[in-house]
């Protein structure tokens, strides 16, 4: 999830595009963000607070005070947010923000916000081009607000022109890019490997393992959030490719070797979480092997140890992370592997722990660095484990 842990206030104003706020809210939640919604009174005419409350999982705030004499603390809300997104932003609200008017809760939150404000204008073409609107938009830019859009397209008036609010998916991309640009790994190239490899016996059979790639994909997601330029090299999987990464799909261990060695030369950090097959058939048959063939032995040969070779090729500026999934004596095997392969960090887990290992949405890991410092974590979602791993990498890399 690209926005896990991010806190976003969504401001909705009186525009026909307000109905799209539901989709924006849903996309933000799907990417892990916590969303609180503030609406103007006129926005309620276009979409109900109940809809946005259901999607955001928080009460929707419209007025400065409530019927029970309590008030909605705009100062607290402005301090809570990592980003204040106003989408759609009507010409009226834009004018109020540009000139410091504060006659509703949304504008009070705007004036109280210490976070960045992102504004997605939505209005008719002539309203958008009017000199007063352009002056207001330029003032908002001068305040440091981020303006996204509008797009050119069909408008509610029936005209076609500039003024249409950006589509929710495009708005999401802007938000993801915004948080990524603030990341501590901005400007760093990171290589991640994930998933299994398939070593063909014949055109229909292969040697593999139970890796799904979930852990590696979660790590790639978190790295993007931290601003890194990520290349994800993954074996066969059924996962959704994370946004904003370079994705390279492979099948065999030899293919992963060729791609990863090439990409490693361009990388500052490499995180090799893939479960690469240790052995591959000496001969892969061109046609399906029949049971009647009498074949009862398949000769295997070792695959190239990609991680060990990376450890030998590693330059001083590079940081190399390996994984070790064991069934017994996990810590000792992990330490030995880390030293033998010249790693900076190894992530160890064991099938002896319930909910850890292949196929689960959870994992339980221990991190060991090259000074043999050991950090053990409880069972967590793989998204949370990815955050722990990336945070550890950042602390060691910066040190």
> What residues are labeled active site?
209
Q: Treating both helix axes as pointing N-terminal to C-terminal, what angle do 168-181 and 214-225 enclose, rounded to 10 degrees?
A: 80
CA angle (81, 60, 93) in 5-degree steps? 70
Does residue 178 sit in helix, strand or coil?
Answer: helix
| Pairwise CA distance, residues 323 & 342, whole Å | 13
Cα angle vertex 387, ends 381, 388, to 5°?
90
| Gyration radius of the chain's alpha carbons | 26
- Name the residue among 172, 164, 201 with its Cα closest to residue 89: 164
Is residue 51 within 8 Å of 37, Cβ to Cβ?
A: no
Residue labelled with tokens 């955050």: 387
**Rounded Cα gap, residues 147 and 117, in angstroms:** 9
Contacts 24+ apart (CB under 8 A), 293-301: 298/201, 300/207
Contact 200, 252 (CB under 8 A): yes
Indicate the SS3 state at residue 231.
Answer: strand
Which residues is 223 bridged to in the sheet?
Answer: none
CB 139 within 8 A of CB 145: no
> Which token pair is 193?
């490997």
CA distances from 24 to 52, 86, 96, 279, 331 (A): 10, 11, 23, 47, 45
């Amino acid at each position: 999830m690209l926005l896990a842990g991010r806190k976003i206030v969504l401001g909705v104003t009186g525009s026909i595009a307000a109905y799209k706020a539901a989709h924006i809210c849903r996309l933000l939640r799907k990417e892990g963000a916590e969303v609180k919604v503030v609406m103007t009174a006129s926005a309620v005419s276009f979409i109900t607070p109940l809809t946005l409350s259901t999607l955001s999982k928080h009460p929707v705030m419209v007025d400065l005070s409530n019927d029970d004499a309590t008030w909605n603390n705009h100062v607290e809300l402005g301090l809570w947010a990592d980003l204040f997104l106003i989408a759609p932003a009507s010409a009226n609200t834009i004018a109020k923000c540009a000139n410091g008017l504060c006659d509703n809760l949304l504008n009070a939150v705007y004036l109280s916000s210490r976070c960045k404000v992102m504004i997605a204008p939505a209005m008719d073409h002539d309203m958008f081009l009017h000199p007063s609107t352009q002056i207001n938009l330029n003032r908002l830019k001068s305040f440091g607000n981020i303006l996204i859009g509008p797009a050119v397209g069909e408008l509610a008036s029936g005209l076609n022109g500039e003024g249409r609010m950006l589509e929710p998916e495009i708005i999401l991309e802007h938000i993801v890019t915004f948080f990524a640009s603030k990341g501590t790994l901005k400007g760093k190239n990171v290589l991640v490997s994930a998933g299994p490899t398939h070593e063909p016996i014949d055109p229909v059979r292969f040697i593999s393992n139970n890796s799904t790639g979930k852990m590696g994909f979660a790590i790639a997601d978190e790295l993007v959030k931290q601003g890194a330029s990520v290349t994800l090299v993954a074996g066969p999987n059924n996962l959704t490719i994370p946004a904003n990464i370079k994705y390279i799909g492979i099948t065999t261990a030899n293919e992963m070797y060729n791609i990863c060695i090439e990409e490693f030369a361009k990388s500052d950090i490499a995180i090799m979480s893939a479960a690469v097959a240790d052995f591959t058939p000496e001969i892969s048959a061109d046609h399906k092997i029949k049971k009647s063939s009498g074949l009862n032995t398949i000769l295997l040969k070792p695959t190239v140890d990609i991680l060990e070779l990376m450890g030998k090729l590693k330059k001083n500026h590079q940081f190399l992370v390996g994984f070790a999934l064991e069934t017994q004596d996990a810590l000792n095997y992990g330490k030995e592997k880390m030293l033998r392969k010249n790693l900076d960090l190894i992530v160890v887990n064991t099938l002896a722990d319930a909910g850890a290992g292949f196929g689960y949405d959870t994992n339980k890991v221990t991190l060991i660095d090259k000074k043999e410092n050991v950090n053990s974590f409880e069972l967590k979602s793989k998204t949370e484990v990815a955050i722990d791993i990336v945070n550890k990498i950042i602390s060691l890399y910066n040190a």
